[in-house]
Amino acid sequence: MTHHPNLKIIALVGLSGSGKSTAVDYLTDLGFPKVYFGGVVLNAMDEAGLEHTEANERAFREDLRAREGKDFIVKRIIKQIHDLSAAGQHHIVADGLYTWTEYRALKHEFPGELTVVATVAPKALRYHRLAHRPVRPLDAHEANARDYAEIENLEKGGPIAIADYYIQNDGDVEHYHRQIDRIVADLSFRD
The predicted-structure confidence for 150-178, as pLDDT tens digits, reads as follows: 899 878 999 999 999 999 999 999 999 99
Q: How many CB atoms lie within 10 A of CB 68?
A: 12
CATH number of 8-186: 3.40.50.300
How far apart CA 41 and CA 47 sit, in angstroms, is 10
CA dihedral (92, 44, 47, 58) positive or negative: negative
pLDDT in tens, 38-52: 888 888 889 999 998
Domains of the chain by residue range: 8-186
C-alpha R_g of the chain: 16
Distances (CA, A) of 84 to 8, 52, 77, 113, 186: 12, 27, 10, 14, 23
Beta strand extents in 98-145 (DSSP E only): 114-120
